[in-house]
Structure 1
Amino acid sequence: MKIAVVSDIHGNLPALEAVLDDLAREAPDQIVNLGDCVSGPLWPEETAAILRETGWPTVRGNHDRIVVSDKPLPRRTADGFSALLLSEESKAWLRSLPATIRLSDDIFLCHGTPTLDDVYLTEEITGPKGHLPDEETILEALAGEQSPIVCCGHTHIPRVVRLSNTGQTILNPGSVGLPSYDDAHPLKHKMEIGSPHARYTLMQESPSGWSFSEKVLPYDWDKAANKAAKNERPDWARSLRHGFFGPLS
């Protein structure tokens, strides 16, 4: 059994297309999507149209939830930009996504944590950047979820974490479409992977257990950065072009 795990596409169509090309070569038995599909100053509707047709098991990310909420969204925000461009079909699809998916007895899918879509599971914020939480913190965030493998996204930072006391493995595949960003929740911080590549993870079962392979793919990130700049988001443009969140242009 080989499963491809994608997450945090954020409307980055050329990054998604690069992943789709790679998936065609890898030919996994199943592909799953951990959410935050369209939010961003890029190609939200075009991305949603492709994802709707894939039929991949997909969980709802926090931005997927916000994009189709009833509250007013300023156009300059990533969510507000996307909400204006999404078709009714794409909005209905986003509303239909479940908060979590139990893929099998062994595999559980969520965006943030099993109970909260806007809380990090594999990063902890106590300063200007994220870092790996201790095992007790991860266990608390799991809130009793006992699946041997828990797949989560939200942080955009790829990790494979094995909990020594339960034997559970936590997989975060990183982000297909956004390699760095800043946020003010729970306090001001940056998350950055340090390269502009599109990322996803393959997990494969063998008699000795599951193995995990991070895929790091080149694509036309200048095209994505130019699109963000055209849509008045130079911060996204810097992130997409460099993988760091900072002053480079």
Structure 2
Amino acid sequence: MDRDISCCIIKDLLPNYVDRLTSEETNNIIENHLKTCSVCSKERDEMMEQVEIEQDTKAKNQSFKQYLSKTKMMYLLKGALLSFGIIGIIVTFIVDLAVNKRLSWSLIVDMGILYSYSVGLTAVMSKKQKGIKAFAVGSILVLPMLHGIEYVININYMTEPVSWFSRYALPITVIWLAILWITVLIKKIIKLNIWNVLGVLLIMTIFGSVLTDSIAQQISVKQVYTSGYEWIDSISYAACALLFFIIGTIRKNRNRLH
């Protein structure tokens, strides 16, 4: 009889014991009883399993709620950004038509808006490698945008069309895109730290700066160096690159030691 009463009492206390609401003295009494009673021990184990299942379910539900909340906020952000962009385009169209009776400068503004939104939305919507994907979209769209700007300017503001895109903008843009992408690929392949990446970028900038001046002035690379102060820029870039390489090497060796 004592055993039955004891088991009944223990079973009444088990829910609080499992939830860790009982005192230390009560815990000792319950645990001493559980050592000799397989029935109560089994019930204790079942209760604890149920508690673990409930806690796991709550954790999953909480995680799912957080995911839904984050997803909802992302959709709201995307919708708001898209709405602002559309409103901006419509407003510029209306103002341009009201003032000039035709679409002129608003086309340039709207191309800039579309370009910015294309890059920004790519970064927001991408789950991985946001920067790389956004940069890729920007690289692809920058040339059509520049060509569109040339077209709008020649149609609306120039008495004689000027083909600056094919002569200047296209080669210069391609050069700098190549420099930036080569730097990105070197970082990805060789796993350089930020200081070494900056050093590589500055070395590439030497070539980019010289070629840009050559194209802009329509002279040879040799003339760029002999007719101006480009050699000073090149030496400055090289010196800064060397400094960054030294810092990058020191940081790399220090990280290895740690």
* TM-score interval (norm. to shorter): under 0.3
Higher helix share: 2
Quick check: which has more Rg, 1 or 2? 2
Higher strand share: 1
Instruction: Give TM-score scaled by structure 2 length.
Output: 0.20
Higher relative contact order (CA 8 A, sep 6+): 1
Instruction: Give TM-score scaled by structure 1 length.
Output: 0.21
